[in-house]
Structure 1
Amino acid sequence: MEEIFIEREKDSLRIAIKENGSLKECLIEEDNSEPSPGELYKGVVKNIVASIKCAFIDIGCKKNAYMLLHHKFDNDKIKVGDEVIVEIMKEATGEKGAKVTSQISVPGRYVILISHNNKINFSKKIEGNTQFIEYVHENINKPSDVGVMVRTNALNSTIEDINRELEELYDSYLRILKQGKHSLKLGLLYNGGGALGRLLIDVINEDTSKIIVNSQEDYGHIERFIKNKSDINLSLELHKDPQSIFSLYNIEKELLSLRNSKVVLPSGGNIIIEKTEAMYVIDVNSSKNTKETSIDKTAFSTDLEAAKEIARQIMLRNLGGIIVIDFIDIESNEKRKRIIQTLKEAFKNDKKKTIVYPFTQLNLVQIARKRRGKSIYDYIEDDCSLCRGKGKKIKLTYLNNLIKNEIIKISKEYEFKDIHIEIDEIYKKDILGNVIEFINEIEALDKRVYVSFISNLEYFKVEALLFASQIKKFENIKIYG
């Protein structure tokens, strides 16, 4: 069974999905002005480059978006100065702006409403179900000026659910068109609820048993969404404890463990995940796996076990683009096919388009996975200036949040006014450079704070100073209070 934990802070939303007690996926969304895939924007055409059939569009962001021109999208006749409504297909990277399309969509849990189309299409998992397809064609209340994609979730719902959602989506679509036509301002028209919206329409299913959320507003939004949904049966809980959800349920530690490049397998083998400029590279090692009686059996059993864990780690860390796996050498084509099949099976519930290619002559497997959002590393880590960008460190903002939660946790046990923090010396300049900001972020304005900066400290430590002798010992490193 799945449990979902939703934690909203002032500048971010974090969603953790656990399956049978094990962390399965984590969605993170930060408040910023950068466009994200699925969002709809009003823009104006600034430039057209006919040689590459591409238009550059100001959507009110730092960089102009770019859009490929094609008659099937009914956009090959646009001119400089035209106002357009576009959907973000790919977020901005480096110097390149976001990729957009004029064929916009408004997604729901059961159907997706699509412009520049008036057909009814079905997801691949439905295509063979002729009885269901005929039933939908006969009973769906589809507006004549839009197309509809019927999603796999519709199989477990009723036609009343489908038609009710389709009506709601069409009302949203008309409001978007109206706002896009009459608004004088360029920018965001619709975001579908962001990461929370994607969770509700894409992720929760009949296996989801519980959602725990710390925001009253999010609680109300989820409650309204799941009401009258015949395929959803879960309990919704509002978290009121001052200690954060991720801290209380030990999710924070699991997230931080994803910084480790090595993942140990139950058999004793391991996988090593490394990032290069162009791709991610994953190496499989038998290491301490001594359960099998021969080298060939050890290699095969380790590769099979690694295939499942690799898929889990890719989804958990949100790795995208090109991923190359160096499995332990296997000569048998039949065994290679089983490894590939195991890998594909492990990705079957992946919401991002993922293609697993066969083994190459060099015994490598290549995976192409659609990028959507940042990897987990981008949220947790910064380049380390002390090693000239060759290493990584936990972002101070992220670390501050962990320290704050630890202080709240200790406050449940003791009443205190003095707190001692041990932290790596690489943060010394940033902390002492703006002490008030640091104290405010860890919510210790009512405390006296003492900080020890220690070389090569992997994590951090927080302790309450309860006795005068302790306080006197750290008096010379007090930074606030």
Structure 2
Amino acid sequence: MSEEILVNVTPRETRVAVVENGMLQELHIERGWSRGVVGNIYKGKVQRVMPGMQAAFVDIGLERAAFLHAADIVKPAPVGNGDGEDTSLPATPTRPIAELLRDGQEIVVQVVKDPIGSKGARLTTQLSIPSRYLVLLPRTRVVGVSARIEDEVERARLKGILASLADSGGGHGYIVRTNAEGQPEEALAEDVAYLSRAWALINEKTAKARVGECVYEDLSLPLRAVRDLIRRDVEKVRVDSRETFERLRQFAAQYMPAVQAAASDDRAALDGKIEHYAGARPIFDMYGIEDEIQRALDKQVPLKSGGYLVIDQTEAMTTIDINTGSFLGQRNLEETVYRTNLEATHAVARQLRLRNLGGIIIIDFIDMTDPEHRRQVLRQLEKSLARDHARTTVYEFSPLGLVEMTRKRTTESLERQLSEPCHECGGRGMLKTPETVTYEIFREIVRQVRQFDAVRLLVMASPKVVARITDEESVAVAELEEFLGKSIRFQPDDQYAQEQFDVVLL
């Protein structure tokens, strides 16, 4: 599989696109005025302990107080060997929050989820610092290996290397990331040394820091892309900014000198994969990324067969509906439905990554009567999700034929980053019809006349509504004037939205 990473840099915005076989799979955006805070470590102060919620609100210097649950305060077991990315989760029962924190207490915390919507950031005291191949877990002795490394021999080799390196790195715990598969001991040792230096610096800054001060900030988006997204099958990283290109090469040479290139026998350094794009045409236009971004904001996603997906993102969950559309198939209805659902699994997996949809996701596949077809569709969905960087969990078909799944959410979705609620409809996605607004105006006229004394009335509304009233409802207006004994004049105004109007008493 061919994979490229494209980095587009402008003065106020940086965008990173992950392209696989010519198709956009992921888009990451960072704007100068609204950088995410996930991964940052702060010296905070407990504002309020809430025993009823087993949580506390902590001031870390952001606009809204952050949320810290008791389960994220309890330390993991001091010794252990984990098998997945979640080995740092608490190994002991959660104690009452009142026994763990008190109002006004200073505490060092890390952000695990950005503020989303009306909710503040989510915090943990279980600090972790990532590098290219490892994640440092300070003050623990956990040694874990990513569950995505499935080869048992390789898992044992990596655990053995980390067990010997852990003592030299200060006796901390580590999780081996997926990128570490096949890497030599020297590369892991360099990461251990880097993480040890980073942790020592954090301790120094923490001792001097004031409440609300950030003592560790994660890398900027281009550097995170090099650290986290580059795998062996990544052929090139193309950057359209000379300054950012130089920074990426320096970062790669300093922190990741032992990375192997795509060919197994080629020991080229990572910076050999990083190229400066100097073309006259914008890099995202060159690869068709801008068009893909626009399509990623649409509710409907077409399938090659003629079917389509309909994606609805709500506050509670995201729903995905699959339809056959114009796809008629060649054999019978069951086969047509099965083929459409199989094709949809690839599209669903891609859209989840591209749109960065997280939380609860409900997929409404087209009904299938054959149990084997259901198993094959579910298996194909899990296979299509395998390349997703975010952790996903897929459940069996429900009695209603729905597939429930979850995808870890740490930042806002692409739609929420690029869009805002419609000012016309208030975010409902629907407008009242001119007919509905017309009858609302009639009711408001009656209400105003009964409350206040007036000789005549002026109604100001959108041109579309006024045109309908004066044209199709002229008889109704005449009857209303006779009933009320008042003169009514309608005035169109382009400044009024379709649902807006004013009744003025003269």
TM-score tier, shorter chain, comes to 0.7 to 0.9
Pick aligned residue for 1:230 from 259, 275, 280: 259
State the AA in 2 paired with 1:12.
E
Distance 1:184 1:284 in 2: 52
**What is aligned with 2:89?**
none
**Structure 1 unaligned runs (5+)?**
393-452, 454-481
User: Which residue of 2 is the match for residue 73 of structure 1?
Assistant: 75
Q: Which residue of 1 aligns with 2:440?
A: none
Aligned to 1:23: 24
- Cα offset, 1:214, TM superposition: 2.4
Q: Distance in 1 between matches of 2:183 and 2:158?
A: 14
Of 195, 203, 209, the residue aligned with 1:183 is 209
**In the aligned structure 2, how far is the partner of 1:221 from the partner of 1:375?**
28
Instruction: Report the identity percentage.
Output: 31
Partner of 2:500: none
Separation of aligned partners in 1, 2:377 and 2:371: 10
CA–CA distance in 1 between the matches of 2:304 and 2:160?
47
> Against the structure 1 CA distance between its residues 10 and 364, is the aligned structure 2 distance closer, same or farther, given a 3 Å change threshold?
same
C-alpha contact (below 8 Å) 1:105/1:112 kept by paired residues:
yes
Question: Are 2:356 and 1:322 equivalent residues in the alignment?
Answer: no
CA RMSD of aligned residues (A): 2.4
SS state at 2:141 partner = coil
8 Å contact kept, 1:60–1:187: yes
**Residues 300 and 335, structure 1, Cα contact 8 Å, conserved in 2:** yes
Of 181, 192, 197, 1:155 maps to 181
**Which residue of 2 is the match for residue 479 of structure 1?**
none
TM-score by length of 1: 0.76
1:93 aligns with 2:136: no
* Residue deviations 1:360-391 (CA, integer Å, cap 9, x gap): 11111112111122212123323222334334
Give the corresponding residue for 1:266: 304
SS of equivalent residue, structure 1 residue 253 = helix
For the 8 Å contact 2:60–2:211, the answer to whether it is kept is no
Alignment of 1:165-180 (within 5 A): 165-180=191-206
- Higher RCO (CA 8 Å, separation ≥ 6 residues): 2
Q: Identify the residue that residue 411 of structure 1 maps to in structure 2.
A: none
After TM superposition, give the deviation of residue 162 of structure 1 in Å.
0.4
Asked whether 1:344 is paired with 2:382, we answer yes
Matched residues in 1 for 2:59 and 2:382: separation?
Answer: 40
Give the whole-Å Cα distance in 2 for the aligned partners of 1:284 and 1:224: 46
Amino acid corresponding to residue 252 of structure 1 in structure 2: E
Aligned mate of 2:244, from 206, 213, 218: 218
Per the alignment, residue 15 of structure 2 pairs with 14
Q: Which digits, 9 at most, give the CA deviation of each residue in 1:25-72, with x for residues without a partner?
A: 111122335753222122122222234332321101111112123573
Sort the Cα spacing of 1:218 and 1:295 in 2 relative to 1 into closer, same or farther, 3 A: same
Please say which structure displays the higher CA radius of gyration: 2
Q: 1:250 to 1:162 in 2, by over 3 A?
A: same
1:125 equivalent to 2:126? Answer no
Any idea what SS the aligned residue of 1:387 has?
coil
CA contact (8 A) 2:37 2:114 kept: yes
Matching of residues 401-440 of structure 1 within 5 Å: none
Q: 1:103 maps to which residue?
A: 126
Which region of structure 1 is more displaced relative to structure 2, 73-82 or 53-62? 73-82
Residue by residue, what CA displacement relative to the aligned partner does 1:235-283 show, whole Å, maximum 9, x if unpaired?
Answer: 2222345653223432111111112222221112211112234222111
Distance in 2, matches of 1:199 and 1:34, equals: 15
Note the 1:244-323 alignment, pairs <5 A. Answer: 244-323=282-361
1 CA distance for matches of 2:421 and 2:231? Answer: 38
Contact in 2 for aligned 1:158/1:230 (Cα 8 Å): no
The aligned amino acid for 1:20 is: N
- Rounded Cα–Cα distance in structure 2 between residues aligned with 1:242 and 1:231: 31
Partner residue of 1:427? Answer: none
Give the counterpart letter for 1:124 in structure 2. Answer: A
- Aligned mates of 1:226, 1:110 — CA distance in 2: 13
Deviation at 1:182, TM superposition (A): 0.7
Q: TM-score, normalization: structure 2?
A: 0.72
AA of the residue aligned to 1:171? R
